[in-house]
Amino acid sequence: MKVTDHIKNANGKTLFSFEIIPPVKGRNIQELYGNIDPLMEFKPPFIDVTTSREEYIYIDRDGLLDKKLTRMRPGTVGICASIKHKYDVDTVPHVLCGGFTREETEYLLVDCHYLGIDNVMALRGDAMREQQYFEATKGGHQYAVSLVDQIQKLNCGSYLHEVIETDNCADFCIGVAGYPEKHIEAPSLLTDLKRLKQKVDAGADYVVTQMFFDNNKYFEFVKAAKDFGINVPIIPGIKPIAVKKHLQLLPQVFKIDVPQDLVDAVEDCKDNKAVRQVGIDWAVQQSKELKAAGVPVLHYYSMGKSDNIKAIAKELF
Q: Nearest 5°: CA angle at 214, between 294 and 45?
A: 40
> What is the three-class DSSP state of 20?
strand
Strand partners, 281: none
Catalytic center residues: 19
Alpha-carbon distance 97 to 64, whole Å?
32
- Measured at the CA of 77, the angle between CA 74 and CA 80, to 5 degrees, comes to 115
Stretch (H or E) spanning 66: strand 64-70
Q: Quote the CA–CA distance of 226 and 223 in Å, as a whole number.
A: 5
Return the sign of the alpha-carbon dihedral for residues 302, 303, 304, 306: negative
CB 237 within 8 A of CB 290: no
AA letter at 275: V
27 phi, psi to nearest 5 deg: -95, 155
In 202-279, which ranges are E strands?
A: 206-209, 234-235, 237-238
CA-closest candidate to residue 51, choices 2, 139, 132, 112: 112
Phi/psi at 123 (5° precision): -130, 145
